[in-house]
Amino acid sequence: MKKTGSQILCECLINEGVDVMFGILGGVIIPFYDTLPQYPQLKHILVAHEQGGAHAAEGYARATGKVGVCIATSGPGATNLVTGIADAYMDSVPLVAITGQVTRPLIGKDAFQEIDITGITLPITKHNYLVTDTASLAKIVKEAFFLARTGRPGPVLIDIPKDVLTSLTEFVYPDRISLPGYKPTVQGHPSQINKAARLINESNKPLIIAGRGAIISQAYDELKQLAEVAQIPVITTLLGISSFPESHILSYGWLGMHGMAYANLAVEECDLVIAIGMRFDDRVTGKISGFAPNAKIIHIDIDPAEIGKNVRVDVPIVGDIKPVLQSLNKDIDRVDHIEWISRMDTLRKEHPSINIRDTESIIPQYVIRQIYEITKGDSIVVTGVGQHQMWTAQHFWFDKPNSLITSGGLGTMGYGLPAAMGAKVAFPEETVWCIDGDGSFQMNIQELGTIARENIAVKIAIMNNGFLGMVRQWQELFYEKRYVATPLRCPDFVKVADAYNIPGITVKNKIDVIPSIKKAMETEGPFLLNFIVEPEENVYPMVPAGAALSEVLEEPLKKVRCK
């Protein structure tokens, strides 16, 4: 039976298991939206801005592991997706972005709202398509979802001219994919796995660094087995947080620019790094020449382009983390590393990093720790980008797999609120907290309207310090406190929330922190907490840009730690 391109697109989305999409319509994408009522299985959430739609689709994808879908019209609608697409590309998030395009005869004529979105997004997508024939649409959609979810996940864009959406053709959904040039390696090479096992069995000071690849592969059990059998301390990257339970005796936090000092120092002392699904980006390694100077390196990653890109690697293993670890674990000896673990414990005692000092005023670390205590860690936590992001990673303990959703590689301010919205849509029965900063929150504050309209019960905690805090911290430490363009003049966030019929509380006194969090938890639907916190609180530990991990700055002595 013949169907329009719009009907074919809907049929394909259903076949790919899509149940929700985030988007905004416009002139050239109207035919698709006009067709949606024929397919009630497809829920569409109207967002307030296309960037919010892209981040919401990311949050949905990060929470579920499924492909997130966002929709936009041509021109500014498509370009507004770019930041979200780039964010998904950097953090390996499976995403399909569908954009409308002007009719085929107008392409290249600078028609109204025409933009070459495939050209623009070429460097930030796994692949993208301009659909020039309605008959090829079904095949393209199937390929797009396959590419987005397989291998190293990432975003794929499909640009569809308006007349392709309205034209009729026979609909046949392909039952297989044939992409001869795309065959991700899943199983690791046996000889490389054997080499890695020998290094692990012979090492005295091994250290696991787990990244987001362990979460993508859902290799939680395999990672835990490797650590426990060989008694190897585990640290994570920022995006690897929640791949390994942080309350585990072998968990030693996360490393990098604002990671735990003891984790950074352990990298300097170890004799073997087992890098699992991580990129060795600059925020993790610090100065490359000073990274793990005494260690051999095993690097396991599904993307061969990442291996050897930033650091020397002694044993490269290309493959999916879960099956690679399953094979590796068969060759691991049951040993103990009592002296090394004892040394790690000593480092943790000597460099406590995340103790919270007692203060009369509200500091963000205290607020975040109380959210953790009240939720007992049973929550999906989504952050924006900035100081609050680092404090969340430090002071909320993540035992639940895949329970921290945050923007890593691109560091996208404005990510938190829409991504939390997407995560809550994915898991409506889960508690979802959006922890944000006053600067980051305002970058997609308009999505409060979406949350209110759809009654998406996200709990929002804003750390309101009146600054673009992370940049202000750099200005304080490295630019003689010249606070240029970092002080903010924020609105009354509770009044803004109230304008959307979202309840909220401004919290100025420390005694009110715990009751306000409990009030948010007890209230059905969304709730906003505006915490007025110390304006010039800094995030420590900190590795200055260009320094080695061992050159970590710890909290100044004037800020006395409590026990």
- Residues annotated as catalytic are 50, 112-113, 162, 470
Angstrom distance (rounded) from CA 377 to CA 403? 9
23 has which bridge partners?
46, 71
364/369 Cα distance (integer angstroms): 9
Do residues 234 and 267 lie in contact, with contact meaning Cβ atoms separated by under 8 Å? Answer: no
State the number of CA atoms in the 13 A half-sphere of 178 facing the CB: 2
Query: What is the widest separation between alpha-carbon atoms in the chain?
Result: 76
366 vs 382: CA distance, rounded Å: 18
Give dist(CA 436, CA 455) in Å, integer: 20
Let me know: does 473 contact 425? Beta carbons within 8 Å: no
CA angle, residues 541, 547, 549, in degrees to nearest 5: 55
Strands 459-464 and 527-532: parallel
- In residues, how long is the chain? 563
Dist CA 446 CA 49 (whole Å): 8
Encoded tokens for 113: 């709202």
Name the 3-class secondary structure at 342: helix
Instruction: Match 């906003």 to its residue by tokens.
Output: 528
For β-strands 2-4 and 168-170, DSSP reports them as antiparallel
Q: How many helices (H) and strands (E) does the chain have?
A: 23, 20
| Residue among 129, 132, 161, 133 at smallest CA distance from 143 | 129
Cα–Cα dist 157/405, whole Å: 23
- The residue assigned the tokens 């969304």 is 526
Q: How far apart are CA 262 and CA 339, in angstroms?
A: 16
Residue type at 106 in one-letter notation: L
Q: Are 162 and 75 in contact, with CB atoms under 8 Å apart?
A: no
Which tokens belong to 328?
A: 């590796």
Rounded Cα–Cα distance for residues 91 and 108 (Å): 33
Residue 511's DSSP bridge partners are: none
Q: Tell me which residue of 139, 131, 145 sits closest to 176, measured CA to CA.
A: 139
10 Å CB burial of residue 196 (0-12, 13-18, 19+) is buried
Q: How far apart are CA 86 and CA 55, in angstroms?
A: 10
- Cα separation, 279 vs 104, in Å, equals 40
